[in-house]
Structure 1
């Protein structure tokens, strides 16, 4: 049974890696190379150089609302793991584990997160902590040093997700330049300084039609993976006791 679970987990991982590669390829073709459906080649001058007509040179920080998580200290955590999990970088990487802390204290309603939320960890070791995630661990509370990225509509959400993922190498370099004692940061000021060619509404809508199913499929795979991991972990003690076979 456990081997079958591990096989399914690996299949989900490979599938999501393929979906991610497809989405990133489409994003670059449309919004970096400007080879999007219906492109006429008509361009306009901007501070970024020539960009498609109708698009705007916009700071990254103005493409969405970036809400920082709240600061939690030891006294905020419950001893019996009641309440909601407090989501730090470890949870973004590995999900909810036995090391996850819980709290009943909601310091900021905007720090609540749920499945499908886009999260941007902007502080930590540049090569291992600066990253963009789609949350798939159910309801939680966002800790500090992580932005919850909020958009006005779903179409913009899909665009924003892959925009931030595309810019990840730039964010890592920014964090490296500010690195002290092993840690680096990407601040709101940095995100106001960096500008991108922001598409018109029609292009964002077409991208959502193309990418939406890929995003949702990947999210569903991640949700299934989280469920399978919990099931596997619950079966491990029985395996150790000889109650079931691997």
Structure 2
């Protein structure tokens, strides 16, 4: 710790540390947001419409008796799933969920962003291990322990400089992610307007109705890690999709089951629980790209229509088809049989129309790949800088942002 840092109990840096409700309210179609553990994604709150649960405005006062979250509060989990943190954004209207609490930083003595980033530092993880209670079913941190957690605190100017550096990186990551979401939505809308709304009884000249199996095949070329030499794999998994929409790079010795081999001519969709759409056009940043066997891997019979067919499986009509062809009795383990998907009927335009469409969307898909790759680099940069900034190993006194 640098000489101008002082060790301070976090209780002295907060106006209060508040527990959330210990029960779950009745759901509502609208009203106030009821936060859950699933809303924590990569250190932020995912408040997209599809991820939000609501409680009624009539119930809202009951569930905010202990605390009403407001902007700059730091919300966190303290039981079962530990090490989840996020900042309450401006304009938030909602309440905490079970096993959640929040800290309200005293912004006269600590920059709330600095305190938030400190929670991702090795020093904070050591405090977690120090106070963690291993229960018979779940681990937890007694909420009464949190005020005793110690923070190595520099002066306010240094706090703000550190927070500014890390926040600038996160803002660029957020900006890239928003651009990618927008590009994806534009491509989906363009496909829908051009090909899903067309009258199938009055198709333009040269257009026809085909089955997916007429224009694409399912690739099952597999990789057995037990039979191959050790190598670094570019692994497209369900968790990697859900966490960051980016592959994980890991040694083949860390992978225990067979995978499908993919290349840049592939496009794929998860057959597991198709109500949650997971469609991926692999980036293939290396020559050793593989994916989970929970994905159905397609290849166009003519590579000239690959991006068009990717849009087909990314469409709402294909998603509905997948959901109507599931097996399994429980919602947690329903799957679509890959061969059944080849019966899906689609409108196949003439070559000129496909070329025009791909001329628009293919650059979009390439930009999505570039932004996702940049985000991965930025995240690794942030994660490498954070402990060095927090410990004072990197001196920020001369930095002007």
TM-score, with structure 1 as normaliser:
0.74
1:69–1:145 Cα contact (<8 Å) kept: no
Q: 2-side partners of 1:170 and 1:64: how far apart?
A: 19
Contact kept? 2:279, 2:314, Cα under 8 Å: yes
1:38-90 deviation line (CA, Å, top 9, x unaligned): xxxxx8xxxx64433322221123332221464768x6799xx8531443211
* 1:126 to 2:290 alignment: no
TM-aligned CA distance change 1:96 to 1:192, over 3 Å? closer
Q: Pairwise mapping of residues 51-66 of structure 1 onto structure 2 (< 5 A)? A: 51-66=203-218
Q: Residue 92 of structure 1: which of 234, 241, 246 is its match?
A: 241
Structure 1 residue corresponding to 2:374, chosen from 208, 224, 227: 224
Superposition RMSD in Å: 3.4
TM-score normalized with structure 2 length: 0.48
How far, CA to CA, are the matches of 1:239 and 1:15 in structure 2? 29
Question: Where in structure 2 are there 5+ consecutive unaligned residues?
Answer: 1-164, 397-401
Taking the aligned partners of 1:132 and 1:174, their CA distance within structure 2 comes to: 17
| Counterpart check, 1:163 vs 2:318 | no
1:116-164 per-position Cα deviation (integer Å, ceiling 9, x unaligned): 85222222x3333x42112236232222121333235554122112111
By how many angstroms is 1:92 displaced?
2.6
Aligned equivalent of 2:178:
14
Structure 1 stretch displaced more, 9-18 or 193-202: 193-202
Q: In the alignment, is the contact (CA less than 8 A) between 1:115 and 1:138 conserved in 2?
A: no
In structure 1, C-alpha distance between the alignment counterparts of 2:351 and 2:323, rounded to whole Å: 30
Aligned to 1:242: 392
**How far apart, CA to CA, are the structure 1 residues paired with 2:351 and 2:278?**
26
Aligned to 1:138: 285
SS at match of 2:314: helix
Q: Compute the displacement of 1:207 (Å).
A: 0.8
2: CA distance, partners of 1:226 / 1:174: 35
Please give the secondary structure, in 2, of the residue aligned with 1:211: helix
Distance 1:149 1:90, change over 3 A: same
Q: Deviations over 1:180-200 (max 9, x none)?
A: 342122223321332112112
Structure 1 residues without counterparts, runs of 5 or longer: 35-42
Q: Does 1:149 align with 2:298?
A: yes
Which of these two proteins has the greater Rg computed from alpha carbons? 2
Residue aligned with 2:342, SS: helix
Distance 1:143 1:69 in 2: 12
Cα–Cα, structure 1 residues 155 and 82, in superposed 2: closer, same or farther, change >3 Å?
closer
After TM superposition, give the deviation of residue 173 of structure 1 in Å: 1.9
- Contact kept, 8 Å, 1:132 with 1:168, in 2: the verdict is no
> How far 1:168 sits from its partner (Å)?
4.8
Distance 2:303 2:218 in 1: 16
Contact 1:23 1:162 in 2 (8 A): yes
Query: Do the aligned partners of 2:274 and 2:336 also contact (CA within 8 Å) in 1?
Result: no
Q: 2:187 and 2:390 mapped to 1: Cα distance? A: 41
How many residues were matched structurally?
Answer: 224
The structural deviation recorded for 1:18 is 1.4
Is 1:199 matched up with 2:346? no
Residue 204 to residue 28, structure 1, CA distance change in 2 (3 Å): same
